């Protein structure tokens, strides 16, 4: 069954909750979805300040992202 947008976003934030920077490939394997979906979700979350994406395409959660995760 196809997962909802909210389920995928929550799983991404859970993986990122260790406060380390992770690559799209690492997130792909942990969330069990393709890297394009990871990229689309993280770029959308970056607009709201939940994550930051470095020039090397590494993703890190922000304090605001951790607050969002607690609400999900």
CATH of the domain at 46: 1.10.10.10
pLDDT at 60: 97
pLDDT value at 1 more than 90: no
Q: Express each pLDDT in 4-62 by its tens digit.
A: 999 999 999 999 999 999 999 999 999 999 999 999 999 999 999 999 999 999 999 99
**Cα–Cα distance between 54 and 11 in angstroms, integer?**
20
User: How far apart are the C-alpha atoms of 67 and 26, rounded to whole Å?
Assistant: 23
Domain that residue 15 falls in: 5-71
Burial of residue 46 (CB within 10 Å: 0-12, 13-18, 19+) is middle
What is the number of domains present in the chain?
1
Instruction: Tell me the whole-structure pTM to 2 decimals.
Output: 0.92
């Amino acid at each position: 069954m196809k997962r909802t947008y909210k389920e995928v976003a929550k799983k991404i934030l859970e993986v990122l909750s260790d406060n380390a920077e992770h690559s799209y490939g690492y997130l792909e394997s942990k969330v069990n979805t393709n890297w394009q979906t990871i990229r689309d979700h993280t770029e959308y979350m970056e607009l709201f300040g939940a994550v930051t994406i470095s020039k090397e395409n590494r993703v890190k959660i922000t304090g605001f992202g951790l607050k969002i995760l607690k609400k999900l």
